[in-house]
């Protein structure tokens, strides 16, 4: 029962911090219609192809998600500083001028990669305009493709701030073909995006039957009027989701990215069908047992089984000036090869920049500039235990031993190192050489430019340090 309780709690967390966000956007920003019929056929020939752009994302790799149907030019001008942007699919209709080879984003950042957000598992009531990407999708849905409860009523997935509920789709039905085919025609074939970011990719749905104040009778995934056992619900759901993802890979042009979001702890369920997955709300479930070890293990496992080119994402949420939280999550991300985002709670709209995002390596000074992104350069090592150079984080995470969280982990890069202390105790770490802190502009108190040969790491913290002597200047400063 502990497990079941955990699942429910986990789900509540996920809903609170994750998917709910998009619905705030729905309420506050009405999709703008546009005259798509007058658009010239798009020619998507960016200066660099997708693999070249992904290959030009050195470390730290950064992504941003904007939950907005029609972001402003100011938002996009900012977001173009990130390596990878997750934008709502509606942006293709509402603001096509931002997208594609001649769009604002690639004009600012020729290495940017764009994913289009679409929910794989629910639709929004009131989103009925047949001039929007979601509206046209909904108008083509068969009633049999909605998830039903044992009374035959449409299953309600998520309550919106206005009290209405989203309606759940049944991915074991032909909607798993219709959705992929529709997105190919309405989104991918425009040539204005690099792939789809499917929200609500889940390992299980049985938790829905255990919600308090449940608006529905029990789920009936196979439409026989009878409630289904948890294992049956989850295995049928997983197969349906896998079919959707496989259909997407088969229908979309080769090389189109398919990324998922949803769930808190990943395993290898979606092996070979996703380019990666977003871990959302980093450590928000810690109080319920979903701590650093569990989420990092899932993140790494998912990364291992993802399709090339891999696009693994870690999103942490918090307040803009909680630099310690941001740095801990960023340093954790840098232990592997994923992309990092630190953003607000609620509807994701933040384009916050930090000292660790771009640094002029010749001076060690933080400077907000695309030119100085990727300053750490390529990794020189996997993440390893600072007390045992032969113990690697990846292998230790897979073993799942609790001691993983008690150690300090380090990864070396061409121009610096990253340390993370996931434990609850302060750690003194010998650096085996001289390193310097970044000279910060956002958090100059912590990033004070000092040269160090040892560092004291607070509990649950991380740090990015630069080589005190680097090839470009041959001098310390």
> Which residues contribute to the site for Ca ion (CB under 5 A)?
220, 222, 224, 226, 228
Least Cβ distance, residue 224 to Ca ion (angstroms) = 4
Least Cβ distance, residue 232 to Ca ion (angstroms) = 8
DSSP E strands in 5-136: the ranges are 63-66, 84-88, 113-119, 122-123
Residue 88: which residues within 8 A CB-CB, separation 6 or more? 22, 25, 66, 67, 68, 69, 116, 117
Q: Using omega within 30 degrees of 0 as the cis cutoff, is the peptide bond preceding 309 cis?
A: yes
Phi-psi region of 166 (alpha: psi -120 to 50; beta: other; left: phi over 0): beta
- The three-class DSSP label of residue 379 is strand
Least Cβ distance, residue 155 to Ca ion (angstroms) = 12
Nearer to Ca ion, 228 or 284 (CB): 228
Distance CA 379, CA 258 (A): 26
Nearer to Ca ion, 226 or 456 (CB): 226
- The three-class DSSP label of residue 374 is coil
Least Cβ distance, residue 233 to Ca ion (angstroms) = 9
Nearer to Ca ion, 222 or 363 (CB): 222
Least Cβ distance, residue 19 to Ca ion (angstroms) = 25
Phi-psi region of 329 (alpha: psi -120 to 50; beta: other; left: phi over 0): alpha
Distance CA 267, CA 274 (A): 13
The total of other beta-carbon atoms located within 10 Å of residue 254's CB is: 6
> Helix, strand, coil proportions of the chain in percent (round to 5)?
30, 25, 45
Least Cβ distance, residue 146 to Ca ion (angstroms) = 15
Distance CA 377, CA 37 (A): 44
Nearer to Ca ion, 241 or 461 (CB): 241
Strand 165-168's sheet: what is its strand order?
122-123, 165-168, 156-159
Nearer to Ca ion, 226 or 395 (CB): 226
Q: Which residues pair with 358 in a beta bridge?
A: 373
Least Cβ distance, residue 73 to Ca ion (angstroms) = 50
Distance CA 285, CA 270 (A): 22
Least Cβ distance, residue 220 to Ca ion (angstroms) = 4
Nearer to Ca ion, 47 or 226 (CB): 226
Nearer to Ca ion, 74 or 224 (CB): 224
Q: Which residues pair with 439 in a beta bridge?
A: 365, 448
Nearer to Ca ion, 78 or 220 (CB): 220
Least Cβ distance, residue 235 to Ca ion (angstroms) = 13
Nearer to Ca ion, 78 or 149 (CB): 149
**Contact indicator for 196, 115 with CB cutoff of 8 Å:** yes
């Amino acid at each position: 029962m502990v497990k079941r309780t955990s699942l429910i709690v986990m789900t509540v967390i996920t809903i609170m911090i994750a998917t709910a966000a998009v619905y705030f956007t729905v309420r506050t920003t009405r999709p703008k219609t546009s005259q798509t019929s007058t658009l010239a056929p798009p020619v998507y020939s960016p200066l660099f192809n997708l693999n070249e752009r992904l290959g030009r994302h050195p470390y730290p790799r950064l992504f941003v998600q904007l939950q907005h149907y029609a972001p402003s030019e100011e938002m996009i001008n900012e977001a173009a500083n990130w390596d990878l942007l997750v934008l709502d699919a509606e942006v293709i209709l509402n603001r096509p001028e931002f997208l594609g080879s001649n769009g604002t984003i690639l004009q600012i950042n020729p290495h940017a990669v764009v994913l289009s957000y679409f929910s794989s598992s629910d639709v929004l009531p009131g989103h009925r305009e047949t001039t929007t990407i979601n509206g046209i999708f909904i108008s083509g849905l068969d009633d049999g493709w909605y998830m039903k409860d044992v009374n035959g009523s449409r299953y309600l997935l998520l309550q919106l701030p206005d009290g209405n509920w989203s309606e759940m789709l049944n991915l074991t039905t032909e909607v798993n073909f219709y959705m992929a085919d529709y997105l190919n025609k309405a989104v991918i074939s425009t040539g204005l995006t690099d792939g789809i970011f499917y929200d609500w990719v889940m390992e299980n749905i049985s938790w829905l039957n255990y919600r308090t104040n449940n608006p529905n009778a029990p789920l009936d995934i196979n439409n026989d009027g009878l409630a289904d056992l948890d294992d049956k619900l989850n295995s049928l759901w997983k197969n349906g989701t896998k079919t959707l993802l496989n259909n997407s890979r088969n229908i979309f042009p080769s090389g189109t990215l398919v990324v998922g979001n949803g769930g808190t702890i990943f395993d290898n369920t979606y092996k070979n069908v996703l380019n990666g997955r977003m871990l959302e709300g980093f450590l928000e479930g810690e109080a319920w047992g979903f701590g650093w070890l569990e989420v990092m293990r899932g993140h790494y496992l998912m990364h291992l089984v993802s399709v090339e080119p891999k696009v693994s994402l870690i999103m942490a949420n918090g307040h803009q000036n909680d630099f310690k939280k941001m740095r801990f999550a960023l340093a954790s991300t840098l232990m592997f090869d994923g992309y990092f985002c630190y953003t607000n709670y609620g509807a994701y709209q933040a384009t916050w920049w930090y000292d660790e995002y771009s640094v002029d390596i010749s001076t060690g000074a933080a400077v907000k500039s695309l030119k100085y992104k990727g300053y750490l350069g390529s990794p020189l090592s996997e993440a390893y235990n600072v007390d045992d150079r032969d113990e690697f984080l990846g292998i230790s995470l897979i073993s799942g031993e609790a001691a993983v969280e008690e150690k300090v982990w380090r990864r070396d890069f061409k121009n610096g190192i990253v340390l993370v202390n996931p434990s609850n105790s302060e750690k003194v770490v010998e650096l085996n050489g001289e390193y310097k802190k970044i000279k910060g502009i956002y958090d100059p108190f912590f990033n004070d430019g000092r040269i160090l040969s040892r560092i004291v790491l607070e509990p649950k913290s991380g740090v990015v340090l630069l080589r005190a002597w680097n090839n470009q200047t041959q001098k310390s400063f």
